[in-house]
Structures are given as C-alpha cells and as structure tokens.
Chains A and B, each alone.
Chain A
Amino acid sequence: MTSKLTTSNRAGWGFALPGFALIATFIVLPFIFAFWLSLTNQRLISPNPTEFVGLDNYRSLLSIDVLSIEPERDAAGALVRDDDGALSYPAVRGFTRNNPDYPQYAGMREWFRWHWGDTAKVVIATDVIFWKALANTLTFVLVVAPVQGALALGLALLINQRLRGINFYRAVYFMPVVVSIVVVSLLWRFIYDGEDGLLNNLLSALTFGAFTGMDWLGNPDTALGSIMAMSIWQAVGFHMVIWLSGLQTISPTLYEASAIEGASKWQTFRYVTWPGLRNTAVLVVIVITMQAFALFAQIDVMTNGGPLDSTQTVVFQAVERGYGKQDISGGSTISVILFVLVLTISLIQRWLAREKT
C-alpha cells in the first residue's frame, strides 16, 4: 500500500544519497577494488605502470603440495641410519631448488612433515608464512567462537537472576568491552611476562612454588593460546549482553509452566531456555566468528606474529604486506581470501542453524 503522500523521488534520493554515497565510496568500492587489485601487481607507490597478472598472486600464496621423500640407502640398498638409529633423508632443498625433474616445486619451502612408514611426507608451500597465518587464524576461530559463546551464555544465565546488586556485577563483567583492545593487550603483556608476570606469580603461589614460571608469549606452544584467553576475557561481556537480551525475550509463563511440571534445572534449560535462544545463538556465533577472523591488534601489540610465526594471522599478514611492504596487490589478495573464508563459514553456520522441518 503506497500512499501518494509519501512518494517523492527527489526527497527520497536527496535524503538517502549522502549516506549511500559514503558507503558506496568507502566500503563497496574498495571491496570491488580488492578483487581487481588481487589480479594485478599494484604497489602503493611505484614508478612502473601496474600490470595485469591474472591469478599469479593467488598461485604464489596458495600453492601447496605434499612431497614424499624416501630415506637414503647405501650402495647395498640398506637404509642409512645415524648413530641414534634415525633414518636420514635427502634435503627438501634438492627438490625445490633448480631441480629440472620437479619444476612444479620450484621455490617452495617446507612447512611441516610427518612420517608414513619409512617415507617422510613433507608439506611444502610457496608461501609458508601465509599458510601458518591461515592455520593460526582458523585455530583461533575454532577455539574462540564456541568457548567465548558458551562462557558468555554462562555469564548471562548467572546475571539473569534476581539478586540485590546484580546490576553492579553486570556492569563489571561488561567493563573490558569499553576498554580498547590495544590497552588490554599491553596490560596483559604484564600478566603473561616470563620474569615478573602476574600470572606466573599467581600460579606459583597457588601451587606453593611448584610452578616455576614460563614465558607465555615467548613460547611458540603457549603464545596463541595466551592471546585466545585474553581475547575472550576482553569480549565475553559483549556477548553476555546479547545473550541476556535474548533471555529476556523468553516469556516468564514458560518458566512457570515448567516449574509446575516439576522440571529440573537442566530440563528447564534444555527445553525452555535453549529453544528460545535459537536466533540469538546464530547471531552470537556469527558475530564472534567475524571478529575472530579479524584478529590483528593483539598480535601487533603483543607478539608481532612471533615466536617462530606461531601467532601470525591472516589480517596481520595482509597489513604487513599491503602497508609494511607497500605490496597492495599481495595485501588485497589476502583480503579477498579472508572475505571468502568469512562468507563461507557464516553461510555454513546459517545452514547448520536453519529451521529443521
């Protein structure tokens, strides 16, 4: 039902245009640019004209292969073992550098390897750092999304009870959300510090000195996990509030009914609360996933991608190349890959959460 009174092309466009033009220029245009730039060799400042290079950028980022290397044998055909009895393998270099038999491996480097019987399976990639960044980012998302979502729900349930002073607790739990992640990252460097870190001192006190301390951010095994814990600490209050608003849309009569039926706490949660939170759950998981993929400031402030590339992330790499090395096309290619990843994962999440008929 459209009324003549409200039809006006001039006023309609006039009011909407300023906002739309800004979005078109600063969001839509660069988004389209990203795809185009990823097919070129564009640099931020360059004396040479930009050339179209097709899928070269994608090829050099994504090329990955598995090399099977047989252990070395002596003249009689017996396996060569060193003093410790370990097998010895020819160097990967022999396959990837100037080897005319394997032109497809030229320039690739080893990422990691495992053993299959006597054969060594070596994963090689042209851009090992990017693959590490990709693996770290996916690990981060796969851990942070469910853990943060669940902790936020737990906090929301805890806060959603009628208690004197509950608003005070809600305000405190939410507090880290308003603090910049940059500030938070700096503060947590103190907590994670290997020498006088607050965490080491706390753990040492709790274990009566049995725990002797560890350099949380300096150890490749703990660095990413430490950043995950801090990120969850900072953002969990945000999603607690979203869960809370979902909880408050559930009708109290449903709870009364389940109390009359004599439902246990778990049953009430399982059959009343959780079904009522369905839409909220989808939103929370998608939002956390998008935020987790964007992991950057924590890395930039705390580790710079180290130690041993254990905290490299996709966005950190995009910035390091696009801005640090002024390689706009390389940064754009990573951006496109990131967008495709985010889109794929949120489509999968939506599909998993679809209404089952």
Chain B
Amino acid sequence: MAAISSDNHGLRLVVRYAVLTLIAAIFIFPLVFMVMSSFKPDLQLLRDTSSFRAFLPVGDLSLDNYRDAFTRAPVATFVFNSVLVTGLTVLLSLLFCSLAAFSFVFLNWTGRSVLLSVILATLIVPFETIAIPLLLLVSKLPWIGLDGFQIGWLNSYRVQIIPWIADGLTIFLFVQYFKDLPKELIEASRVEGASWWQIYRKVVMPLSGPVLATAAILKFLVMYNQYLWPLIVVQQESYRPVMVGLQYFFQLDTAWGEIMAYLTVITVPVLAFYLVLQRAFIASIASTGVKG
C-alpha cells in the first residue's frame, strides 16, 4: 500500500475529481437547464434541447418570459402568500415547540411522560395518512375573526399555518438539544428566584442558536415546498402559495418559457439562501439522524 508512486497518485486524483465532477453534473443539469431556458423564447427553447445549447446562455436571450409570466399569473401574490405562510409558521413553530420541549426537559409535572410519548408517537404517522380527515376537520372548525364568527377554515391563511405549527420532529429536536444543556444552570437560576419564563428567555434561548437554526431550516423547507395540503384546502387564488400557483400555467396553451421563468423565480432565491447557509442546511439534516 505504501508503495504508491507519486505519478500513480496524481492519476488517481484526476480520476477521483473526474468521478466527482461527473456526478455533480448529473445533479446540477436540470437546474442549469431551468435557468437558461427561462431567458429563451419557446421555439428556441424546444430546439435547443437537442444539443448542449440547452445548458448555455446562447441565442435570443431576453426577460420577456418573466414579463409574460407576471402578466399571466398573479406571481407576486403567490410569492407573498408563500413568504407570509412560511415565515409565520416557522416563527410560531420555534416558539411553541421550544416551550413544550423546555417543559418536558426541565420541569417535573404530572402527565409529562404520557404527553411526550404521544408526541413522539406521531412521528410514525405520515401527513399523507391524515390529510383527508384533516380536510374534513378544518372545513368544520369555527373561527372568530375581524368579520365575526364563521364556520370553516378553507380558503384562508390560518388553514395553511395553524395545523403546521407544532410537530413531533421539531419538539424532538429541541428535547434532544436541551437534554445536553447543564441542568445546574437552570437550578441555579431557580435558586436565585428567576421565574420559568425568565429562565426560558434569558438562560435557555440564548444557548439554543444551533437547534433554532436546525428547526427553522427544516420547517422552512417543509413549508415553502408545501403542495398537497394547499392543493386541497385553498381554491381561491388570493391565498394560493407558489407551488400550487404553478397550475396556472397549464390552463391555456403550455408556455414553456414562462413556466421556466416562474420556476426560476420560486426556486433560485431558495437555492441562493441554501448556498449561503450551506453548512447550516446540511448540519440540520444531519442532526435529524445522529440521535434518532
């Protein structure tokens, strides 16, 4: 093993990088195709798929597809809805789930272990198996809003937000993280007379940066990419999020350039966000596995 000549070593290195790069190309080419096509007129877009031109910014490039996509569909509304729903759900999820986990880890109270078991048991229930009964449930729930009392949550922001705030995985992540914090810290603050709310806010939360980032990223990915749930509970255009808004582009003749422009608009910001916070994204996925 030790007798590898440097020449051989160099060749191996080249092969390794070649393999890595080839695989990278497989993962990246549809996305490159998407961005490049969004600048091309339909005719050229379809013609280019027969050659490498499909992945290159060549030919008649313009922002026309973007302009047309924005005139054809209320793209800004869809994006606003997605940002609002995703942002609010992530924030509320961090608050409610960390509070619950705080209570499960640091406090002793009757019923604690039963409640925690119920919450962890929900981890084996895929959302797809409760979507239909949940649809019936939210169609009958009452609501008191600015415009008075009403029955039914369909076609609203709340139906997209409230059912998604608390989930077993997020609580589980906080519980795992809090377990590793030194208990003495909490007891010491208790001795000094701090209230539980103060301990949560002033002691535990400032130490929870990593788990907050993890939980926020996972929730963000789930919420922004929602499809099945908004598809069945939101028929009104004004409440639709970006993924469901996509259907708009299939109504008349399929305009592929506009579709590519729309896909680019809803995908590239997320990809940019991912590339900037790449380490945090990957760490958050990894942390779902380490202790599971």
Contacts and interface: CB of A to CB of B under 8 A. Distances in A.
B8 to A, nearest CB: 16
B90 interface: no
Interface in B32-53: 33-34, 46-47, 49-51
Contacts of B285: 174, 177, 238, 241-242
> On chain A, which size bracket covers the interface?
35 or more
Interface stretch (A61-69, A89-97, A315-323): A315-323
Contacts of A283: 289, 292
> On chain B, which size bracket covers the interface?
35 or more
Interface in A164-212: 166-167, 169-184, 186-188, 190-191, 193, 196-198, 201
B190 interface: yes
Interface of chain A, helix or strand or loop or mixed?
Answer: helix
A186 to B, nearest CB: 6
A324 B97 CA distance: 34
B11 interface: no
Given A31-B130, A178-B271, A15 B289 contact: no
Contacts of B225: 180-182
A331 B133 CA distance: 8
Contact of A19 (B16, B171, B267, B289): B171
Contacts of A30: 130, 133-134, 137
Interface in A1-39: 2-3, 5-9, 11-16, 18-20, 22-31, 33-34, 37
A297 to B, nearest CB: 5
A6 B187 contact: yes
Interface stretch (A70-78, A104-112, A115-123, A288-296): A288-296
Interface of B: 1, 13, 16-17, 19-21, 23-24, 26-31, 33-34, 46-47, 49-51, 54, 96-97, 99-100, 102-104, 106-112, 115, 118-119, 122, 124-137, 139, 162-168, 171, 186-187, 190-191, 196, 200, 221, 224-225, 227-228, 231-232, 243, 246, 256, 259, 263, 266-267, 270-271, 274-275, 278, 281-282, 285-290, 292
Given A15-B103, A37-B133, A190-B33, 20 more contacts: A6-B106, A7-B108, A16-B100, A26-B137, A30-B134, A33-B134, A34-B130, A37-B136, A44-B139, A158-B23, A169-B21, A182-B227, A242-B285, A245-B286, A296-B228, A323-B135, A332-B132, A332-B133, A334-B132, A335-B131
Q: Which 9 A-B pairs have the closest CB atoms?
A: A12-B109, A19-B100, A322-B132, A15-B103, A331-B132, A242-B289, A245-B286, A22-B166, A33-B133
30 contacts: A8-B108, A12-B109, A14-B103, A15-B100, A15-B103, A22-B163, A26-B137, A26-B162, A30-B133, A31-B122, A155-B23, A158-B19, A163-B17, A179-B271, A180-B227, A180-B266, A186-B263, A187-B263, A233-B27, A242-B289, A245-B287, A246-B290, A249-B290, A283-B292, A290-B124, A294-B128, A315-B228, A322-B135, A335-B129, A342-B124
Interface of A: 2-3, 5-9, 11-16, 18-20, 22-31, 33-34, 37, 42, 44, 155, 158, 161, 163, 166-167, 169-184, 186-188, 190-191, 193, 196-198, 201, 233, 237-238, 241-242, 244-246, 249, 259, 262, 280, 283-284, 290, 293-294, 296-297, 300, 315, 318-319, 322-323, 328, 331-332, 334-336, 338-339, 342-343, 346
